[in-house]
């Protein structure tokens, strides 16, 4: 592979060959770790340590190779070994990041499992207290929704009542006009007409008072239920 390389090319070739073999072993180890990730009870600490040692060894070989290829006098061969060394270093860095991501995910999963176990073990302690708080908040939210629905129904009923009053008022006005027309037709006296008008005004005030009382009752009910 490194025939014709001056200044220890054989050593460079051996370092490169060893680095590639270790990279394959480290890549296989990471693939095994990722397969183990779905299993809850698998202890992967030994394999993780082994992969970490392999990556560290490759990085150390890359450092040695970096010093060796710089001593090659032929530019074409020097450039070739520079690219090979950089490639090995990039592969080692990629595997190292993959290992760190796996370790982070595994640590997070262990922490979550520990937290769940702590909550279950506390029973009626803090964990149960937290669950009770959530239950209370859910009940409070349901109560607010029910109150809101009750207020909306009450408001709709009030609007319907007021509309009914308005409709009745219009009918009474039409009836009054017809009655006055009939009375005028039969020639009743002005005193009788004034008496009827006063009675109409009293009836009107009674209707308005009833409408105002209904509105006040609805307002007080809504304010009390908030």
Q: What is the pLDDT of residue 6?
A: 35
* The pTM of the whole model exceeds 0.75: no
Report the alpha-carbon distance of residue 203 to residue 175 in Å, rounded: 13
Beta carbons of 73 and 8 less than 8 angstroms apart: no
With beta carbons less than 8 A apart as the criterion, state whether 40 and 97 touch.
no
Q: What is the DSSP letter of 81?
A: H
Higher per-residue confidence, 131 vs 7? 131
Task: Work out the pLDDT band at 5, boundaries 50, 70, 90.
Answer: very low
The 10s digit of each residue's pLDDT in 189-215 is 566 667 777 777 777 888 778 778 788
Q: Where are the beta strands (DSSP E) in the chain?
A: none
Helix (H) / strand (E) containing 71: none
Structure tokens at 46: 């030994």
Q: Which two tokens stand for residue 80?
A: 């070739």
For residue 16, what pLDDT band results from cuts at 50, 70 and 90? very high
Nearest to 70 by CA among 56, 54, 57, 81: 81
d(CA 52, CA 96): 7
- Cβ-count burial 189-204 (b if 16+ within 10 Å, e if not): eeeeeeeeeeeeeeee
Summarize pLDDT for 23-75 with one digit per residue, the tens: 999 999 999 888 877 665 456 788 899 999 999 999 999 999 999 999 998 99
């Amino acid at each position: 592979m490194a025939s014709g390389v001056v200044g220890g090319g054989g050593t460079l070739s051996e370092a490169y060959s060893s680095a590639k073999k270790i990279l394959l072993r480290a890549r296989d180890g990471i693939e095994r770790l990722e397969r183990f990730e779905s299993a809850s009870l698998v202890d992967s600490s030994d394999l993780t340590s082994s992969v970490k040692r392999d990556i560290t060894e490759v990085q150390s070989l890359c450092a040695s190779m970096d010093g060796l290829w710089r001593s090659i006098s032929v530019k074409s061969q020097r450039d070739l070994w520079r690219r090979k060394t950089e490639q090995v270093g990039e592969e080692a860095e990629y595997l190292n990041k993959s290992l760190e991501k796996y370790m982070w995910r595994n640590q997070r999963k262990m922490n979550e499992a520990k937290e769940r176990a702590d909550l279950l073990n506390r029973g009626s302690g803090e964990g149960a207290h937290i669950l009770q708080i959530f239950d209370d908040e859910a009940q409070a939210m349901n109560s607010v929704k029910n109150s809101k629905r009750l207020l909306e129904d009450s408001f709709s009923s009030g609007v319907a009542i007021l509309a009914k009053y308005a409709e009745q008022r219009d009918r009474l006005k039409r009836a009054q006009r017809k009655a006055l027309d009939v009375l005028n037709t039969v020639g009743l006296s002005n005193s009788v007409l004034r008496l009827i008008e006063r009675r109409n005004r009293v009836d009107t005030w009674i209707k308005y008072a009833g409408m105002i009382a209904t509105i006040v009752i609805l307002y007080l009910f809504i304010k009390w239920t908030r």
